[in-house]
Chain A
Amino acid sequence: GAVVSQHPSRVICKSGTSVKIECRSLDFQATTMFWYRQFPKQSLMLMATSNEGSKATYEQGVEKDKFLINHASLTLSTLTVTSAHPEDSSFYICSANVPGQGTAYNEQFFGPGTRLTVL
């Protein structure tokens, strides 16, 4: 299947700094990528949908100015957590779409996740 990578896999930063997380589709072009957040022992919650060349669509309750998403190419989307605080500590997972043929389902492949810890 298609491979999605994330970098870094783990990051620890001080409160107030910004952190950038990269999501790459390695062997396919993804017009759409998704960003999820997972707090400890909780489910995955969709944060935003990122389309190449256009502005991301954020889910209700997700601050656009805090979580900046850029999808500049068909293989790369970045999530920047600006002025991170301890409550932003979480597991961030991206996924990328492989467009289906005709009416076939658009398969979604997940990255391995990035664990962010804000001190």
Chain B
Amino acid sequence: AQKVTQAQTEISVVEKEDVTLDCVYETRDTTYYLFWYKQPPSGELVFLIRRNSFDEQNEISGRYSWNFQKSTSSFNFTITASQVVDSAVYFCAADSGYSTLTFGKGTMLLVSP
């Protein structure tokens, strides 16, 4: 079983600020997968990224970047130059490969103009 902790319940920033959402995971498995999802007010989950435990390379996709560090069991997500459209709840999740996702409690990001 995994456990995912998102300590930040809510973050408020002003447009164009950079913001980092923290995610700490716990697992006994050597093979596991980590995810980030975005949930806008409409409720639909939007897949952002999947990382497997053997790939610690950081990833950048446009204004989004992810920092995976096994040494600290963290998989943090940074939005650069935030925009109002980034306002949503962001979930970090983990899976041992059996497709049963364990979600963190989510971080609500509010970006104001």
Contacts and interface: CB of A to CB of B under 8 A. Distances in A.
B44 A110 contact: yes
A71 interface: no
Interface residues of A, number: 21
A46 interface: yes
B104 A43 contact: yes
The A interface, classified by DSSP as helix, strand, loop or mixed, is: strand
Contacts, number: 45
Nearest to B37: A110
Contacts of B100: 34, 46, 49
A105 B52 contact: yes
A97 B95 CA distance: 13
A113 B43 contact: yes
Contacts of B45: 44, 93, 110, 113
B81 to A, nearest CB: 27
B91 interface: yes
Contact of B105 (A42, A49, A97, A112): A42
Interface of A: 1, 32, 34, 41-46, 49, 91, 93, 97, 105-106, 108-110, 112-113, 115
